[in-house]
Every structure is written in C-alpha cells, then in structure tokens.
Amino acid sequence: MPFILQKRNARNRTLRRGATAVEFALVAPVFFLLILSSIEVNRLNAIRHTADNAAYEAARHAMVPGATTAEAIAKANVILRAVGTRGAQVTVTPSVLGPDVETIQVRVDVPLNRNGWIVPRFTRNRILTAESTLNTERMGQ
C-alpha cells in the first residue's frame, strides 16, 4: 500500500509542475500593480503634506516686519526641495509687504505630471494646491 501512495504523489507532482508558473503569471501583475500604486500614492501624499508645510512656513516667515516676498518664496522652495518637488510655483499675496498689510496669503502649486515617479500620465494636467493665510505683525495695524 505505501508503494501505491508514493507512485500517485509522484504522478500528481508531475501533472502540477506548470501550475505554479501559471498561477504566478496570473497573480504577479496584480501584485506588482498594488505595490507600485501604493508607492505612488504615498509619494504624492508626501508632496501634498510638504506643500502644505511650505505654504505655512513661508507665510510665517513673511508675517514679521521687514520680511519680503522673495524671502518667503525662497523659504517655501527650500522646504519643497526636501522631497524633490519639481516645477512648483509659489505665489505670495500681496506682492509687496508694506507696513499697512494685514494678511499674507501664500499659495503653492505643484504640477503632478512632473512629480510622479511611476505613472505620471495618470496625473496629467493636475495641480496640487496648498494655501496658507496668516495675519501680519506689522505696526500699521
């Protein structure tokens, strides 16, 4: 009896020899798609949080007396470079920070088609926008 069982197991292994390869061929594309898409989503999420932080820190830098819009833009760009953001546009409103300015708004626009790693064609023509508005500490208030 044990001899018959060994013969059947050997025969079954021979018949299933290609089954593993076929199963891998069916499952692998889905598995790799999930892995790569999770990497891409996490990358874009990091860019979103960095853009929010850059807008806030630039507004904070520009709210003190004597600060300029160029300094605020430079501050935002330094933060955006930390995650390798490309093509970001930083806008400070108002463009001239005088003593009578009450609020400062910083807007950061990041084009997603230039910042995707894996499949940037899915984010084509999309812009991630972050804004921060703060009251100033100017003497004219």
Does any domain span residue 43?
A: yes
CA separation for the pair 68, 92 (Å, rounded): 10
The model's pLDDT over 89-101, given as tens digits with 9 standing for 90+, comes to: 999 999 888 888 8
Does any domain span residue 130?
A: yes
Q: pTM value?
A: 0.77
Does any domain span residue 141?
A: no
CA separation for the pair 126, 106 (Å, rounded): 19
Structural domain range at position 31? 2-135
Residue 118: what residue type? I
Question: What pLDDT band is residue 141 in, cutting at 50, 70 and 90?
Answer: very low
Quote the distance between the C-alpha of residue 82 and its chain's center.
12
CA separation for the pair 72, 113 (Å, rounded): 25
Domains identified in the chain, total number: 1
Does any domain span residue 140?
A: no
The model's pLDDT over 22-61, given as tens digits with 9 standing for 90+, comes to: 889 999 999 998 998 898 889 889 999 999 999 999 999 9
